[in-house]
Structure 1
Amino acid sequence: MDYINDFISFVREQYNTDKFIPLHEPRFRGNEKAYLLDTIDSTFVSSVGAYVDEFERMMEQFTGVSKAVAVVNGTASLQVSLRLAGVSEGDEVITQALTFIATANAIVYNNAAPIFLDVDLDTMGLSPQAVRNFLEEFGELREDGCYNRFSGKRIAACMPMHTFGFPVHLDELIAVCNKWQIPVVEDAAESLGSYYKGKHTGTIGLVGGVSFNGNKTITSGGGGVIISNNLDLGVQAKYLTTTAKRPHPYEFFHDEMGYNFRMPNLNAAVACAQMEMLDTFLADKRMLAEQYSRFFKGLGVNFRTETTDTKANYWLMCVELNDTNERDKFLKISNENGIMTRPIWTLMTRLPMYQHCQKDQQKNAEFLEQRIINIPSSVR
């Protein structure tokens, strides 16, 4: 464990400070203030404005999708994405237990129930083999889709999460889900700037959701976006998230239950300025990841890097330690010395509101839960 003091010195050298170093803080080095002032001067500070339209256009251009719809946060993007995929009351959604709670919550917001399956060790994301094993044991194809023989409920979607920006094995996962007629909704909340076989995450499944929370690679304070190459679904997403109001110059008529999930123009102004800096931020984070990789090499510590055929955004960088004792010592010493580190999330299956949900053995998820630590990953 002698390397921890060297790690502390290394991190301070990277960020050139003796002060507290957070896990991931935003950087505002572009046109954020200018665009905010422009928004205020325009008086269009709420959910209608030029910056909302521009942000959606920028996201479409960056990710290569047919339609991007800006919303109030990443959780809302996932909630609506699941509804667009056909998830409704009483359904079930396959996902992973090793995730941030928004993944599971978005399922329940649709009055559906999560099924928690294991992750792969290399991606830390939903395992295609775990999904295949589960469906071969419990799946039943009927005229209107796949059903769970254990619960009798329809399995309406599968939602993998690209953990810390590392893409899951999408080709294999989608192949399994296609066989069982289950649409894939990508939780790309953490993976803006990550690619799988040359395609941006969130664009490969039916629909995807991205987050712009304050701790993400770029931020709009709050905010999220729904992305899809299905233009009809994109149009429906815009309609649902703007209260399902039929267009009219002055009359209000709503013909479906929608959501007031619109991103305010103020947030979109910040998002536009941040998008202008995205390539620079991603390049800096990649350089930092390379330096971390060199530092940990030979120390018996596995610094997590991207897998074959992927390009990760290195949103939150992480190391895999040898056991729980080493993890806890690393956390204690680093945080006591002003270097913020944190363990990976508690598995959803351990939380009181989700511990009753159907799950598999979670062998890999439990292994990673005991060993993964996030380390400072801010743009320098």
Structure 2
Amino acid sequence: MNNSVFIPLSVPNLSLDILDHIKETIETGWVSTGGRFITEFEHKMTKYVGVEYAISTQSGTAGLHLALKALGVEAGDEVIVPTLTFIAAVNPVRYMGAEPIFMDCDDTLNMDMDKLEEFLEYECKYEEGKVVNKTTGKQIKAIIVVHVFGNPAKMEKLMEIKDKYNLKVIEDATEALGSYYLKGKYAGKYCGTIADVGVYSFNANKIITTGGGGMVVSDDQQLIDRITKLSLQAKNDSVYFIHDEVGYNYRMTNIQAAFGISQIDKLNSFIHTKVENYNIYKEAIEEIDGLVLLKFREDTRSNYWFYSIIVNKKIYGINRDELLTKLNANNIQTRPLWGLIHKQKPYLNNQGYRLDKAEFYEKNLINIPCSSNLSARHVQIVINQLNQYESANL
């Protein structure tokens, strides 16, 4: 059975109610990195996730770069990062002249906090408030934790580790806007609001979009003031253009923010649709031998950004790559997991620690259509195709 309708993996959910805002940016001339929509979008973000301060940026990647800089990461330092993530979470470490150390994932796809703790205890030494890597002799300054596919990481354990070893923590919540904790110390807290600083992305495939752009949030005013300054070319005097250090052109545009103030008002409805579609998939995939739909943590309210299936060739009949090829050939856009970062050419010589579970997921995981405007009919088309390739039906 061939599918004649193209079903994309993850696309923006846009409507024409933004046109009045876009029209205003054109009529007033405020189309660049100044204008009322930027301020309004930042305000809406602080209210939604429950933080004191937010500063919009050109991208989530720019936000991570600014966060590392503001937290004092320098050339020659090391930063612990996940290997199972998009490379944009790691590249900013190199922008700083620092080096990443790669950590494995657990079964939530997030950083394995037990292995992290083990690495710091046995592979590092803690002296005078500093963590020094025994292998390289370099200081480890920070950890970047990614809430992968909107599934919240184990922040309670991570923050205990942070305090024990005096490390800075950046939450890469670029995939997790709207995800929050239901139980434990951080019940009611949103991903991105627990560590020293959090970063969001509004790229076109994210749960809300401004076409591009990002946001950095924190309750630390000094930190946000520093990030704001750096994002504006480190300008000290706006009249005489005095700059006392190297800065960056990293601000969001007013046109992008005009999209954002409309999108964020619809975020909860987008999440509602994603949860409904996930549950339809879940019920059906439970009946397909050889496929497992990955769960989201039950002690959290995830935004259900991406849906992931593990393919067991021995039972299902074909492997992950064969399924990927068949679905895409039938107009159902799917993708594999990112290539693990420690295997990428720029990072082949970097240290990693017990990177075995991530290897399994890299080989066997596939992402299936999950847009917030995906109809139940299209979900059923995907399910029908998955059923078709089960070994009993081949």
- 1:298 Cα deviation from its structure 2 partner: 2.5
Does 1:258 pair with 2:210? no
Following the alignment from structure 2 to structure 1, what is the Cα–Cα distance between the partners of residues 141 and 10? 35
- 1:112 Cα deviation from its structure 2 partner: 0.7
Report what 2:61 is aligned to: 75
Report what 1:298 is aligned to: 287
Following the alignment from structure 1 to structure 2, what is the Cα–Cα distance between the partners of residues 33 and 330? 40
- 1:147 Cα deviation from its structure 2 partner: 1.1
Q: 2:88 aligns with which of 74, 77, 102?
A: 102
- 1:371 Cα deviation from its structure 2 partner: 1.2
Report what 1:269 is aligned to: 258
- 1:143 Cα deviation from its structure 2 partner: 2.1
Following the alignment from structure 2 to structure 1, what is the Cα–Cα distance between the partners of residues 205 and 237? 35
CA RMSD of aligned residues (A): 1.5
Identity of matched residues, %:
37
1:183-231 CA distance string (max 9 Å, x none): 1111111111111332110111110111100111111111000011212
Does 1:139 pair with 2:163? no
Report what 2:15 is aligned to: 29
Report what 2:267 is aligned to: 278
Does 1:182 pair with 2:167? yes
**Number of residue pairs matched?**
364
- 1:144 Cα deviation from its structure 2 partner: 4.8
Closer, same or farther: CA 292–182 of 1 in aligned 2, 3 Å:
same
Following the alignment from structure 2 to structure 1, what is the Cα–Cα distance between the partners of residues 363 and 219? 38
Q: 1:348 aligns with which of 341, 361, 372?
A: 341
Q: 1:57 aligns with which of 43, 49, 53?
A: 43
Following the alignment from structure 1 to structure 2, what is the Cα–Cα distance between the partners of residues 263 and 334? 36
Q: 1:361 aligns with which of 354, 357, 376?
A: 354
Does 1:331 pair with 2:324? yes
Report what 1:86 is aligned to: 72
After TM superposition, the structure 1 stretch with the greater mean CA deviation from structure 2, 45-54 or 300-309, is: 300-309
Q: SS at the partner of 1:251? A: coil
- 1:142 Cα deviation from its structure 2 partner: 2.2
Report what 2:212 is aligned to: 222
- 1:135 Cα deviation from its structure 2 partner: 0.8
Contact 1:107 1:114 in 2 (8 A): yes
State the TM-score, normalizing by the size of structure 1: 0.92
1:14-53 CA distance string (max 9 Å, x none): xxxx421111111212522221111111101110100000
Contact 1:30 1:276 in 2 (8 A): no
Following the alignment from structure 1 to structure 2, what is the Cα–Cα distance between the partners of residues 110 and 176? 24
Q: SS at the partner of 2:342? A: helix
Gaps of 5+ in 2: 182-186, 374-394
Following the alignment from structure 2 to structure 1, what is the Cα–Cα distance between the partners of residues 201 and 333? 22
After TM superposition, the structure 1 stretch with the greater mean CA deviation from structure 2, 21-30 or 97-106, is: 21-30
Aligned AA (1:280): S
1:159-193 CA distance string (max 9 Å, x none): 11111111111111121222111111111111111
- 1:361 Cα deviation from its structure 2 partner: 2.2
Aligned AA (1:334): L
- 1:257 Cα deviation from its structure 2 partner: 1.9
Contact 1:30 1:274 in 2 (8 A): no
Following the alignment from structure 1 to structure 2, what is the Cα–Cα distance between the partners of residues 247 and 314? 44
Report what 1:13 is aligned to: none
Report what 1:158 is aligned to: 143
Does 1:191 pair with 2:180? no
Contact 2:129 2:166 in 1 (8 A): no
Following the alignment from structure 1 to structure 2, what is the Cα–Cα distance between the partners of residues 265 and 247? 22
Aligned AA (1:37): K
Contact 1:344 1:374 in 2 (8 A): yes
Following the alignment from structure 1 to structure 2, what is the Cα–Cα distance between the partners of residues 308 and 172? 17
Report what 1:15 is aligned to: none
After TM superposition, the structure 1 stretch with the greater mean CA deviation from structure 2, 47-56 or 142-151, is: 142-151
After TM superposition, the structure 1 stretch with the greater mean CA deviation from structure 2, 208-217 or 303-312, is: 303-312
- 1:331 Cα deviation from its structure 2 partner: 0.5
Q: Where do residues 203-218 of structure 1 align in structure 2 (5 Å cutoff)?
A: 203-218=193-208
Q: 1:43 aligns with which of 29, 38, 50?
A: 29
Aligned AA (1:108): R
Following the alignment from structure 1 to structure 2, what is the Cα–Cα distance between the partners of residues 291 and 30? 29
Contact 2:129 2:165 in 1 (8 A): no
Report what 2:381 is aligned to: none
1:252-292 CA distance string (max 9 Å, x none): 11222211101111111111111122121111111111111
Gaps of 5+ in 1: 10-17
Following the alignment from structure 1 to structure 2, what is the Cα–Cα distance between the partners of residues 268 and 175? 36
Q: SS at the partner of 2:163? A: helix
- 1:247 Cα deviation from its structure 2 partner: 4.9
